[in-house]
Amino acid sequence: RGDFALELSENIVHGSDSRASAKRELALFFPDGLV
């Protein structure tokens, strides 16, 4: 994260805090369940 980001507070790396959050967040980017 720190090695590749220009700003530590603004980067594209994200980690969900739970399985439920991960499921909801994945559906935002992959609505057809392609993951």
d(C-alpha 34, C-alpha 4), whole Å: 27
CA distance 25 to 8: 21
**Number of Cβ within a 10 Å radius of residue 22:** 14
Q: Any catalytic annotation for residue 14?
A: yes
Catalytic residue among 14, 17, 31, 33: 14
Residues noted as catalytic: 14
